[in-house]
Structure 1
Amino acid sequence: MTRRPFLPLLGGATLLCALAAPALAQTDGLRALEAFLKNTQQGKTAFTQVVQSPPRAGETAGRRKTSSGTFEFQRPDRFRFVYTRPFEQTIVADGTTLWLYDADLNQVTARPQAEVLGQTPAALIAATPDLKGLDRVFTLSNSAPEPGARDGLAWVQAQPRQRDGQLQQVRLGFRQGQLAALDMLDSFGQRSTLTFEAMDTAPGFKPGHFDFKPPPGAEVVRP
């Protein structure tokens, strides 16, 4: 995972976003998630991501890596996730293809979008319009904060119904109706936590904003 901060975010294959929903009770994360899915059609925000790996043999603590960037989305199935630090990497979903671009490697990976997003965190906020759609692939429930946490968030837990994938658990945290945090745990014990800044819900994207063209000279891989 040294050069791929977006992999835990995509559940081992592919994403997620931070968007705003109308103000709701802090104790009811499910209501906040439902309102967000129904009422937020597009948005733009900045994020910070921390990936914590489990300790290796002989280590007392796991490795911790931090990255940051911006996220944009437009329902029902378009988004752009750009990492700017420490490495430049981009994820774009154009409605048909999911593109992963590594600037340092000058390599683009292209996969059919429908095949890679259904069971990932991306499906929680970018592809499904309501809780009924999410319930087909995730078991959803209100979740208590971590023991000793003082974040003041209302949490939703999403457990994948299929247990044979890399993604083990996803938790979404809301503050005053806005999605403020995303916490993911994979089957290897690696934890990825994203925190989001305030969301611009009227960015005025122009037609073609979520199109992606591989840079000249980039290697394009289609697994």
Structure 2
Amino acid sequence: MRMTRWLVAFLLLCVAGLAQAGQEADQGSEALQAFYNKVHTLSADFQQIQRDDNGNVVQQANGTFLLSRPNKFRWEYDQPYKQIIVSNGQIFKFYDVGLAQVTVRNINATLKATPAVLLTGGEALGEAFEITDGGKRDGLTWVHLTPKADNTDFKSVDLALTNNGPALRKLHDNLGQTTSITFGNVKVNPDIAASKFTLEVPDNVEVVDGRAKRGRGTAR
């Protein structure tokens, strides 16, 4: 599993789905709006399954997720590989423990062409996505989001919500693959230490600094 632009996009979309915890909404779009009104911090465990275009399981993963709006998050994989994705609101770091490598970018550059507006809310959400209420099926409230931009790595995202929280999130990419993420142990507005959104890079790890006017091996 390696960092791709759609992975960052998907975790931001999952944030929107997670934010429905504890809210009752008759329509999916209302569930998304509840995020901006109610959720400031969030923590959860997650399980991720990726399937190919034939429905076969390609990879499974699990880990933990932390959020502090608007742009701070920590997405940490425990299995099958140890990987950490962290944003302190300005700097984005992706640490592949197995490869002993950290990639550093400015947060705005990293989230370009991704649905970052799902962290900030407002009218920009409708500008970035076509949002369609999917109705209710099997006791779940569905919402379908299609990016308006042409340069994204995913085609659409489906969110299934219950009154007590998210039930299912599915991202459909341009290769016909589907990635699903489910969450457990969801806590809304918990106290989260600021240190959770920073990453101290070990001395023996290669640093690839993608920020403007910076070179390789200079960021810690």
TM-score (norm 2): 0.83
Residue type at the aligned position of 1:23:
Q
Q: CA deviation at 1:204?
A: 0.9
Report the equivalent of 2:124: 133
Rounded to whole Å, the distance in 2 between the matches of 1:120 and 1:172 is: 17
- In structure 1, the residue matched to 2:32 is 33
- Alpha-carbon shift at residue 162 of structure 1 (Å): 0.7
User: In 1, Cα distance between the equivalents of 2:52 and 2:5?
Assistant: 13
Shift of residue 34 of structure 1? 0.6
2:88 aligned partner, one-letter code: D
Asked if the contact 1:45/1:200 (under 8 Å) is kept, the reply is yes
Output the CA distance in 1 between the equivalents of 2:59 and 2:194.
35
Equivalenced residue count is 207
User: Could you say which structure has the higher helix fraction?
Assistant: 2
Which of the residues 66, 73, 78 maps onto 2:72? 78
1:187 shift after superposition: 1.0
Residue among 61, 64, 77 paired with 1:67: 61
Task: Give 1:187's match in structure 2, choosing from 171, 174, 177.
Answer: 174
- Find the residue that maps to 1:164 and give its secondary structure: coil
CA RMSD, aligned part only?
2.4
Contact 1:92 1:210 in 2 (8 A): yes
Aligned to 2:214: none
Secondary structure of the structure 2 residue equivalent to 1:215: coil
Q: Secondary structure at the match of 2:194?
A: coil
1:96 match: 90
Segments of structure 2 that go 5 or more residues without pairing to the other structure are 211-220
Cα distance in 2 for residues equivalent to 1:64 and 1:78: 29
8 Å CA contact 2:67, 2:74 repeated in 1:
yes
| Paired residues of 1:21 and 1:179 also in contact (CA < 8 A) | yes
Please give the alpha-carbon distance, in whole angstroms, between the structure 2 residues aligned to 1:202 and 1:144: 28
Map 1:18-29 → 2, pairs under 5 A: 18-25=18-25, 27-29=26-28
Aligned twin of 2:215: none
Helix, strand or coil for the counterpart of 2:186? coil
1:116 aligns with 2:110: yes
Percent of aligned pairs sharing the same letter: 29
Deviations 1:96-124 (A, max 9, x none): 12111111111111121112224435542
Q: Structure 1 residues 6 and 154 mapped into 2: Cα distance closer, same or farther (>3 Å)?
A: farther
CA drift at 1:199: 1.6
Unaligned 5+ segments in structure 1 are 56-60
Structure 2: which amino acid aligns with 1:4?
R
Partner of 1:58: none
